[in-house]
Amino acid sequence: MYKPMRFWGTSAGAPIPAPFCKCSVCENARIVGGKEVRLRSAFRIDKKIMIDIGQDFAAQAIRLGDDLSEVEHLLFTHTHSDHFNYSMFWLRLIASAEPPKHAVKVYLTDDAYSYIDKVLYSTPLLIDKNGEYLKEKNVEFVKLEFNHTYKINDIEVTPLRGAHHTALERNSANYLIKLSDGRLMYYALDSGYYLDDTFEYLKNFKLDILVGECTFPSIGGEGDGCPVHMDLTSCTATLDKLYENGTIDEQTDIYLSHIEAKGMNHAQLEEYFTNIDRKYNVKIAYDGLSII
């Protein structure tokens, strides 16, 4: 059986090592390799559904020995380029001598949906040669409303507001997902420190799996007080509050992803969460990690 749920990428905006960077985290990744190397965040739920296909999807498919040929549904958290890359649609169209039989469905929430008209269909270079790859036979854009639940194949998806914005979007979409086996997952990239409404909404649920961001893995480092991303202080404060609220407990599988080379490396981050005095258990995600 296909082992589906897998992190395709776990970095934030820059991969680790970052091509222009000689910091100690990037230099360590160049030497050690393995879990210390991260490409941009992307996640596969199953053979047909993925969340976020950013700038590295082609390299990730090659590296993982996987392919996107059967993917029918793409959920996007927001349109920052580390999460959303329209070149996927072009590659899909040209992949075969035969045109694709079905359009891939692309889900965007609220303001993010305006990206289609404001950027994709308004940029002459993108619609060169009539923009065949952006036409309905190849891609169908679907608008989702926050706090509404949708059935996509055999999963249920509810987008909740994240405290993260782009030039177009007031809020990122974080996805509460009921998986086909009944487990409940919350995929929260890029979330920032959760909005009050989001904490409240999540009080009604007990998560089996939480995928959260730890963009700046340091205390009082670059991300200290960053309103749109989390460092270790805000990340731990979020987890503490989710635990207090009963949204997570000792059994919840918590994975941190969307990690920059701004503080601890993978091994140091693992050690930090091993030694932290909390009842919940945190795993540090890495590229290629499967969730069973």
Closest CB to Zn ion among 184 and 267?
A: 267
Counted residue by residue, the chain has a size of: 292
Is 108 near Zn ion (CB under 5 A)? Answer: no
Closest CB to Zn ion among 77 and 247?
A: 77
Closest CB to Zn ion among 26 and 152?
A: 26
Is 37 near Zn ion (CB under 5 A)? Answer: no
Q: Give the nearest distance from C-beta 10 to Zn ion in angstroms.
A: 11
Count of chain residues binding Zn ion (CB under 5 A): 8
Cα dihedral 205, 110, 90, 134 sign: positive
Closest CB to Zn ion among 36 and 82?
A: 82
Please identify which residue in 10, 26, 35, 207 interacts with Zn ion, judged by CB under 5 A. Answer: 26
- Contact segment (CB under 5 A) with Zn ion among 21-29, 43-51, 149-157, 199-207 equals 21-29
Please identify which residue in 46, 52, 82, 208 interacts with Zn ion, judged by CB under 5 A. Answer: 82
Using a CB cutoff of 8 Å and minimum separation of 24, what contacts does 269-276 make? 269/214, 269/217, 272/217, 272/232, 276/236
Q: Give the nearest distance from C-beta 29 to Zn ion in angstroms.
A: 8
Q: Give the nearest distance from C-beta 218 to Zn ion in angstroms.
A: 13
Is 190 near Zn ion (CB under 5 A)? Answer: yes
Residues 222-261 that bind Zn ion (CB under 5 A): 261
Q: Give the nearest distance from C-beta 2 to Zn ion in angstroms.
A: 27
Q: What is the DSSP letter of 148?
A: -
- Contact segment (CB under 5 A) with Zn ion among 14-22, 192-200, 234-242, 282-290 equals 14-22
Please identify which residue in 21, 58, 126, 219 interacts with Zn ion, judged by CB under 5 A. Answer: 21
Q: Give the nearest distance from C-beta 138 to Zn ion in angstroms.
A: 26
Closest CB to Zn ion among 84 and 280?
A: 84
Is 23 near Zn ion (CB under 5 A)? Answer: yes
Please identify which residue in 44, 80, 92, 178 interacts with Zn ion, judged by CB under 5 A. Answer: 80
Is 111 near Zn ion (CB under 5 A)? Answer: no
Q: For residue 280, which amino acid is it? A: Y
What are the DSSP calls for the chain, one per residue?
A: -----EEEE-B-SS-BS-TT--SHHHHHHHHH-GGG-BPBPEEE-SSSEEE-B-TTHHHHHHHHT---TT--EEE-S---TTTB-THHHHHHHHTSSSPPSSPEEEEEEGGGGHHHHHTGGG-TTTTGGGGGGGSTTTEEEEEE-TT--EEETTEEEEEEEES---SS-SSEEEEEEE-TTS-EEEEETT--SPPHHHHHHHTT---SEEEEE-SB-SSSSTTTT-SSS-BHHHHHHHHHHHHHTTSS-TT-EEEEE-B-SSS--HHHHHHHHHHS--SS-EEE--TT-B--
Q: Which positions lie near Zn ion, rule CB under 5 A?
A: 18, 21, 23, 26, 80, 82, 190, 261
